[in-house]
Amino acid sequence: MTSSTPPPPDLPDAPGGRNPLRRLRARGRDEEHRTASPLELFFDLCFVVAVAQAGIQLVHSVAEGHAGEGIADYAMVFFALWWAWMNFTWFASAYDNDDVLYRVVTLVQIAGVLVLAAGVSRAFEEHDYLVVWLGYAIMRLALVSQWLRVARSSEGPERTTALRYAGGVLLCQVGWLGLLFLPEGARPWWFLAMALLEMCVPPLAERGYGTAWHPRHIAERYGLFTIIVLGETIAAATVAVKSGIDENDALGELLPIAAGGLLIIFAAWWLYFVVPIHGHLRSNRQAFLWGYGHYLVFASAAAIGAGLEVAVEQTVGKAHISTLAASAAVTLPTALYLLTLWALHSRHFKVGITQQLVLPTTALLVICCTFLGDWAVFTAGLVCALSVVVGETLATRPSKIHTAEGQAA
C-alpha cells in the first residue's frame, strides 16, 4: 500500500457506542486528563511477576557466592523486561485507541512476559535463554503488529516512522537468536551489542517525525511502575524477614535489617516523587535520555529488595558469604538508585551547589555504611531518611526568598 492509499474507514459503532475496530491514529499531545488506563495498570502488574523472578534468582546467585555471574544474568534478563515495557509504554502514550484489537494485542504482550518469567530460572541456572527469547519474541512481534496498524492508518512521515519501528524491532529480534546459538563466552558481548542496537531503533525511527507521546502520561506511567517495583521490594524483604523469624527465631538480629530496609524504600519513594518531572519532558532528546536512564532506576530498585533478602539469609546463616558482601548487596544498589535519580530528576530542580550535593553525598555515605558490619543496613536507612529531611529543608529556602522578594516589589 502506498502512502497515497486512503486508510480503511472506521467500522460502525458497536452497541454501547464504542467501535470494536478503529484506525490506530495518534492521540493529542496536549490532551487533557490523560491518565493511565486499567489495561496499562494490568500490564504493569503482570510485568512485576517477571521482575520478582529475576530478583529471586539474583538472591540465590549472590547468596551462593556467585555475585558477578548473577549480576550479569540479572542485567540481561532485566533489560528484556524493561525494554519491552518501555516500548509499549511510549507507544501506548501516543496511539492507545482502546479498541478490541488493541486490547487483544496488549493481552498477547502480557502473555509474552509471563512466558519470559517462566524461563528466568533456566536462564540463571543453566544459561538456557530459549524460553526467555520466546517470551520476548511474543512481546516484540505483538508490538510490530501495532506499528503496522499505525502505518496502515497513516501516511507521509508518520507512516515512515511506523514502518521504521516495525522493521527495526524485527531486525533486532532476529539478532537476539545469537543468545541461543553462540558459545557461552560470547553471549555477554553479543547481548551488549544487541542492547545498543535495540536502543538505536527509537531515535532512528523518529528522525523527521516524532510520535505524539504525552508528557504527563509518560511521567505517570514511569511513576506507577516505580511504585510497583518498590512494592515488590517491600514484599520480598517482608517474606525474607518472616521466614528468618519463623525458622530461626532471630527477631533481634533481623530488626535492624527490617527497619533499615523500610527506611531505604520509604526514602526511595519520597525522593522519586518530590519533583514534577513531566515539566522537564519537552523534547525527544530529553525524553530519550530520561526514559533510557530508568533502566538503572528500575533495576536498582528491584535489586534493593534482593539485597535485603541476601542480608537476612546471611544473618540467619543460610547464605555462606561475608557480612561485608551481604551489606554491599543492599548499599550498592541503593547508592546506584540515588545517583541515577539525581541525574534524571533532582538536578533539574535544585538551586545552588548545596542542594545539588545532597543526593550524591547521600550515595557516598550509603556506600561507606557497607563497612559497619551488622548495622550497615540500618545505618544506610538512617542516612537515606536524613537526606529526605535535608532535601526538604533546603527546598523551602528558595521559595521563601522569592516570596519575600515578591512582597517587597
Residue 244 has pLDDT above 80, yes or no: no
Pair 194, 226 in one domain: no
Residue 405 has pLDDT above 50, yes or no: no
Model confidence pLDDT, tens digit, residues 338-374: 999 988 877 767 777 877 888 899 999 999 999 998 8
Pair 231, 184 in one domain: no
Pair 350, 296 in one domain: yes
Residue 194 lies inside a defined structural domain of this protein: yes
Q: Which domain holds residue 65?
A: 38-205
Q: Return d(Cα 161, Cα 147) in angstroms, integer.
A: 9
Residue 172 lies inside a defined structural domain of this protein: yes
DSSP string over 181-249: HS-GGGHHHHHHHHHHHHHHHHHHHTTT------HHHHHHHHHHHHHHHHHHHHHHHHHHHHHHHHHH-
Which of 205, 226, 251 is a domain's end point?
205
Other Cβ atoms less than 10 A from the Cβ of 349: the count is: 14
Instruction: Supply angle C-alpha 404, 405, 409, rounded to 5.
Output: 120
Pair 319, 396 in one domain: yes
Residue 121 lies inside a defined structural domain of this protein: yes
**Range with the poorest average pLDDT among 42-56, 115-129, 250-264, 275-289:** 275-289
* Average predicted confidence (pLDDT) for the chain: 85
Model confidence pLDDT, tens digit, residues 272-283: 988 777 666 766
Pair 139, 223 in one domain: no
Please give the residue that has the higher pLDDT: either 138 or 288.
138
Pair 191, 255 in one domain: no
Pair 115, 248 in one domain: no
Which of 205, 229, 262 is a domain's end point?
205
Pair 144, 268 in one domain: no
Q: Output the domain CATH number for residue 404.
A: 1.20.1410
Q: Which long-range contacts (CB under 8 A, 24 or more apart) does 230-235 make?
A: 230/265, 230/268, 230/269, 230/301, 231/48, 232/48, 232/51, 232/52, 232/55, 232/302, 232/305, 233/55, 233/265, 233/301, 233/302, 233/304, 233/305, 233/308, 234/262, 234/265, 234/305, 235/305
pLDDT attached to residue 10: 46
Model confidence pLDDT, tens digit, residues 16-36: 445 677 788 878 777 787 888
Name the pLDDT band for 261 (thresholds 50, 70, 90).
Answer: very high
Residue 8 lies inside a defined structural domain of this protein: no
Number of folded domains that form the chain: 2
Pair 301, 177 in one domain: no
- The amino acid at residue 222 is Y
Residue 110 lies inside a defined structural domain of this protein: yes
Residue 12 lies inside a defined structural domain of this protein: no
Pair 221, 325 in one domain: yes
Residue 6 lies inside a defined structural domain of this protein: no
Pair 382, 252 in one domain: yes
Residue 4 lies inside a defined structural domain of this protein: no
Which of 141, 173, 205 is a domain's end point?
205
Q: Calculate what percentage of the chain has a pLDDT beyond 90.
A: 51
Q: Return d(Cα 65, Cα 45) in angstroms, integer.
A: 31
Pair 247, 201 in one domain: no
Q: Which triple of cell numbers denotes residue 199? A: 536502543
Q: Which residue has the cell 545539588?
A: 356
